[in-house]
Amino acid sequence: MEVGKFFTGVYYGKYDKTVHFFASAGVTVVLLSMLPLWAAAAVAFLVGLGKEIVDRRVRHLRIDPNDLAVNALGIAAVVGIALAAGLSWG
């Protein structure tokens, strides 16, 4: 797979993966104010998966595993920063 093809999405064009990364990171940060770190990460991933399912059912697009991978990277970035800052996983 070409790198350029990976980073080009359907809805946001060339910024699709960037939007997925920061949206997932943002959702994780917001959820951290209400949930433990592990739960915030899990719920944030489920939100991203839900968005892909809605895309499939409503917009008739395929579920993009690259979107899910970039969502996971955004979540992992927040988890890494939170753990480095001393926040407990549980």
Domain limits, the chain: 25-90
Sequence-ordered list of residues with C-beta below 8 angstroms from that of 17, at least 6 positions apart, any chain: 6, 7, 9, 66, 67, 70
Q: What is the pLDDT of residue 8?
A: 54
Higher pLDDT, 2 or 86: 86
What whole-number distance in Å separates Cα of residue 29 and Cα of residue 27? 5
Among the listed residues 18, 3, 6, the one whose alpha carbon sits nearest the alpha carbon of residue 65: 6
| pLDDT(52) > 80 | yes
Helix axes 16-32, 65-84, angle to 10 degrees: 40
Q: At 4, is the pLDDT very low, low, confident or very high (cuts 50, 70, 90)?
A: low
Query: How much is the mean pLDDT over the chain?
Result: 90
